[in-house]
Amino acid sequence: MPKAVIQYYWRFREMKVVPPTPDRIERLIRTAIRTIEEQFFQDTLEKLPTASLSKLDSLVDRIAFLNEHQDGPSSDKVLLSFHELKADPGKPGVIIRASYGSHYRRLVPEILGILEFRSNNEVHRPVIRALELVKKF
């Protein structure tokens, strides 16, 4: 698990908020990156001159894609316009997880690997030994 996911997990814990699953945190990070990239691309597109935009549109409009569902050995091409390409939503990328149980089980070894528990109090010794066993196995 990336270090950023663990840092976000602890940040949620510091705020006393139930942290989302690691998959959800990774999805939030990917969404933030995609949002920044889209804003960058939009800003770049707005700064392009009109002549460049029209040339780009004409290039994209002339792109030919092979029709994968076509019967027979013929290699006819299907032309798709830029607007049709933008209208295609693509494959959904959201996977809904049914349980948080595996979320906590996956985080415990990594958290125990980062943290070190020490105490001179004899009352805490059984807990520290138990944590060492969990870390070991």
Looking at residue 17, what is its pLDDT?
Answer: 83
What is the span of the domain harbouring residue 104?
98-137
The mean pLDDT value for 53-61 works out to 74
| Predicted confidence (pLDDT) at residue 48 exceeds the cutoff of 80 | yes
Q: What is the pLDDT of residues 91-122, one digit of tens each?
A: 655 554 555 556 666 777 777 778 888 888 88
Residue type, 67: N
Q: How many domains does the chain have?
A: 1
Cα-Cα-Cα-Cα dihedral sign, residues 33, 39, 40, 45 = positive
Q: What is the pTM (predicted TM-score) of this model?
A: 0.38
Q: What are the phi and psi torsion angles at 63 (to 5°)?
A: -70, 130
Torsion of CA 62, 68, 73, 74, to 10 degrees: -20
Tokens 């990239």 belong to which residue? 37
Beta strand extents in 16-111 (DSSP E only): 64-66, 77-79
- C-alpha of 25 from chain center: 8
Q: What is the pLDDT of residues 22-35, one digit of tens each?
A: 788 888 888 888 89
Q: Binning pLDDT at 50, 70 and 90, where does residue 70 land?
A: very low
| In a domain? residue 17 | no
